[in-house]
């Protein structure tokens, strides 16, 4: 427990910072709390003060400001702050549940902010390689983490960010507030931290997706590509809306995201860009099937001959360039000439291609692909059961925390008696 004088000073700074007014807190007080959090273990005393006081339940804007200040502390504070917040995440859950019944719209914003903060501290607890400001060493993550599960967890946190920012924008528009007035600033100021986290998490998810597409079959990553596409489009909308707000005019928000969604190339796939539609078409690469040699010719004089039996006919109209299989490179008739568009209709004889038996290399590639798919399924099952174990551990931790709280209350009651 901290010294009584220290607890008193911290209490005074908290009440001053989280004043129940519809205006942003003084930056001096916010910076004092951030500096206090940089000490490390001393941050636990803040939670002790919060448990003893009713400041988070006294007014909606006090709780809203606390969420914002805590988010800043998680980004700029000591690394141990993340563990302290994770151990006290039940406080955040209780605050969010309490204010969701508020008659004011800010109550729903508090609920979404608390959900985001809980999910954020859970991500940092699960992946200590990711710092509070969401910076990371990708090589360390690649060596120590399951990238597929990390990608899913990253998408979940990005989803929480997007839900929160959308709720903030809707609330500002509903009350017709300017982002430069005190009432507007106190609502939109948390978007600064949301932008910072979303930028880092988007970059991380892009790196993970590129890595997964180089190691896993293309078909097995369809769900992740769908999630990424949804996140990308929502981020684009988010950055576009925020970039037009007066509060963020000094930041070039829109340039932090590429204009086009990335096309992830798998080891067994290639992508062809179509200029007309602006989309990428996926094709499967088959190294064993090589196209036959073709030459492009334009026919000056063509006289149809009787068609042999068993051959397919494809009829083309005028003014067309035809690709025919090169039968004999030494014939003079294969020279390039000019088509007379108003004179000729061209009928092309296409010979049936005989189906060749599969070679040993093709069979080996198929077996290797099947092995990769089975290994991937095995990793997914292993990841699923690890998630279930983590959930049970989390539930057990929550029950233990509740038990400690009950014992503390019983002890206090005995002392009073």
* Residue 273 resides in a domain: no
Structure tokens at 100: 């969701």
* Residue 288 resides in a domain: no
Select from 125, 28, 141 the least CA-distant residue to 80: 125
At 293 the pLDDT is: 45
Select from 163, 149, 84, 150 the least CA-distant residue to 116: 163
| 57, 90: one domain | yes
| 392, 321: one domain | no
Q: Which of 29-33, 197-201, 255-259 has the highest mean pLDDT?
A: 197-201
* Residue 46 resides in a domain: yes
**348 has a pLDDT exceeding 90:** no
At 48 the pLDDT is: 82
Domain count of the chain? Answer: 3
| 333, 202: one domain | no
Provide the residue range defining the domain that includes 329: 294-350
Query: Does the predicted TM-score (pTM) go above 0.75?
Result: no
| 311, 375: one domain | no
At 135 the pLDDT is: 93
| 165, 110: one domain | yes
Across 221-227, average pLDDT: 92
| 103, 8: one domain | yes
CB 256 within 8 A of CB 199: yes
Check residues 99 and 361 and name the one with the higher pLDDT: 99
The per-residue pLDDT for range 49-71, each reduced to its tens digit, is: 887 678 899 899 999 999 999 99
Find tokens 């804007």 and name the residue. Answer: 61
Check residues 227 and 323 and name the one with the higher pLDDT: 227
- Alpha-carbon gap, residue 376 to 148, rounded angstroms: 10
At 397 the pLDDT is: 78
Neighbours of 29 (CB within 10 A): 18
Q: Is 277 exposed, middle or buried, given 0-12, 13-18 or 19+ CB atoms closer than 10 A?
A: exposed
| 187, 334: one domain | no
| 219, 362: one domain | no
- Alpha-carbon gap, residue 64 to 62, rounded angstroms: 5
According to DSSP, the β-strands at 312-316 and 294-297 are: unpaired
| 160, 309: one domain | no
The per-residue pLDDT for range 157-166, each reduced to its tens digit, is: 999 999 999 9
Across 141-155, average pLDDT: 93
| 212, 330: one domain | no
**248 has a pLDDT exceeding 50:** yes
Give, in degrees to the nearest 5, the angle at Cα 22 between 20 and 52: 20
| 139, 240: one domain | yes
Across 22-28, average pLDDT: 88
| 372, 309: one domain | no
- Alpha-carbon gap, residue 178 to 188, rounded angstroms: 10
CB 304 within 8 A of CB 347: yes
pLDDT band at 225 (very low <50, low <70, confident <90, very high): very high
**123 has a pLDDT exceeding 80:** yes
* Residue 98 resides in a domain: yes
């Amino acid at each position: 427990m901290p010294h009584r004088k220290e607890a008193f000073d911290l209490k005074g700074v908290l009440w001053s910072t989280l004043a129940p007014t519809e205006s942003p807190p003084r930056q001096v007080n916010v910076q004092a709390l951030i500096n206090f959090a940089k000490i490390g273990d001393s941050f636990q005393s803040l939670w002790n003060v919060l448990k003893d006081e009713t400041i988070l339940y006294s007014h909606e804007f006090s709780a809203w400001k606390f969420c914002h200040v805590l988010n800043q502390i998680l980004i700029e504070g000591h690394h141990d702050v993340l563990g302290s917040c994770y151990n006290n995440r039940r406080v955040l859950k209780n605050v969010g549940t309490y204010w969701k019944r508020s008659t004011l719209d800010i109550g729903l914003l508090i609920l979404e902010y608390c959900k985001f903060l809980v999910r954020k501290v859970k991500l940092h607890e699960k992946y200590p390689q990711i710092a509070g400001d969401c910076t990371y060493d990708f090589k360390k993550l690649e060596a120590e983490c399951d990238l597929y599960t990390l990608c899913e967890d990253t998408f979940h946190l990005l989803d929480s960010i997007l839900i929160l920012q959308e709720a903030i924008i809707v609330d500002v528009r509903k009350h017709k507030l300017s982002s430069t007035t005190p009432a507007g600033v106190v609502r939109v100021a948390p978007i600064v931290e949301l932008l910072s986290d979303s930028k880092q998490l988007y970059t991380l998810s892009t790196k993970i997706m590129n890595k997964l597409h180089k190691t896993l079959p293309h078909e097995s990553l369809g769900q992740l590509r769908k999630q990424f596409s949804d996140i990308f489009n929502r981020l684009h909308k988010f950055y576009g809306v925020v970039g037009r707000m007066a509060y963020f005019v000094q930041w070039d928000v829109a340039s932090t995201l590429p204009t086009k969604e990335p096309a992830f190339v798998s080891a067994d796939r290639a992508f062809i860009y179509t200029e007309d539609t602006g989309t990428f078409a996926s094709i499967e690469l088959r190294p064993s099937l090589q196209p036959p040699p073709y030459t492009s010719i334009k026919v000056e004089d063509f006289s149809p001959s009787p068609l042999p039996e068993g051959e397919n006919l494809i009829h083309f109209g005028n003014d067309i360039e035809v690709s025919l299989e090169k039968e004999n490179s030494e014939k003079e008739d294969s020279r390039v000439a000019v088509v007379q568009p108003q004179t000729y209709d061209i009928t092309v004889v296409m010979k049936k291609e005989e189906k060749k038996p599969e070679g040993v290399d093709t069979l080996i590639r198929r077996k290797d692909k099947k092995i990769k798919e089975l290994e991937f399924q095995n990793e997914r099952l292993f990841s699923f059961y690890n998630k279930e174990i983590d959930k049970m551990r989390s539930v057990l931790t929550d029950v233990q925390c509740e038990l400690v709280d009950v014992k503390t209350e019983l002890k206090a009651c005995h002392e009073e008696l």
